[in-house]
Amino acid sequence: MILTYLKQKGISLPPVESADGITVQDMINRMRGFLKRLYESHCDIVDFASDFMELLLEYPKSMCDYNMGDTLQLIATIIYFEGQPSPEDYEQYEKKAKEMKQDYGSLFKESYLPDRPEADFSYEHLSVMFNRSKATIHEAIRKKETQAKQLVAEARLRQKAKGMALDQLVDEEKEKLKFEQNNQENSQTNEQTAP
């Protein structure tokens, strides 16, 4: 459930829409179109079905509109960029590859390497999830790239700050426990040496 995941990561998403003005036939037509595109793409049905349904429930008007509006363009672009490997992921991969080449020398084979970091969602995946063409997804990502990258970067910074704050809190608690333990040892030593 991609929207739930994005919310847990702290990424700001557009407000949830109401279903006012959407007919049952509109929803059924969207679902039929999604299933047709899903079967043609050979993507994993379980993952995409839950993501599509979550999008349909949270953004029914946008999902049922013929054209891909700003709301869905932004969400698709956020999903695309949140799923991209970070530069650190590539650096770790390259470092590991270099170490393995040095360790194995002439015995090294490319098959020994771990999988290269890849994006979680391709244009094809997003076209299935949003029930739109790959060209429409490509245009949406081009149009909303700056805004989506900013939202993803802000969420990552908040996550990193929370992690640093938690680490600092853990260190402070460790210091406090050490201090209390030293005080207990000192008081026990003083009691034993007292006349």
In a domain, 92, yes or no: yes
pLDDT per position as a tens digit, 110-151:
666 666 656 678 888 898 889 999 999 999 999 999 999 898
pLDDT of 54 reads 92
Q: Domain range spanning residue 94?
A: 88-118
Per-residue pLDDT tens digits for 64-102: 998 999 999 999 999 998 887 777 776 777 787 777 777
Would residue 175 count as lying in a domain?
no
Q: Is the pLDDT of residue 55 over 80?
A: yes
Assess whether 19 and 97 both reside in one domain: no
Task: Report whether pLDDT(22) > 70.
Answer: yes
Residue 194, pLDDT > 70, answer no
**Nearest 5 degrees, angle CA 93-CA 94-CA 97?**
85
Q: Could you tell me if 128 and 36 lie in one domain?
A: yes
Is residue 80 located within the same domain as residue 38?
yes
- Look at the chain and report how many structural domains it folds into: 2
- Residues 94 and 128 grouped into a single domain: no
Residue 191: band (very low, low, confident or very high) from pLDDT cuts 50, 70, 90: low
Rg of the chain (C-alpha set): 26
* Residues 60, 18 within the same domain: yes
Alpha carbon distance 52, 181 (integer Å): 55
Residue carrying structure tokens 């008007």: 61
Distance of CA 136 to CAs 72, 126, 127, Å?
Answer: 11, 10, 8
Q: Do residues 42 and 103 both lie within one domain?
A: no
3-state percent breakdown (helix, strand, coil) of the chain, nearest 5: 75, 0, 25
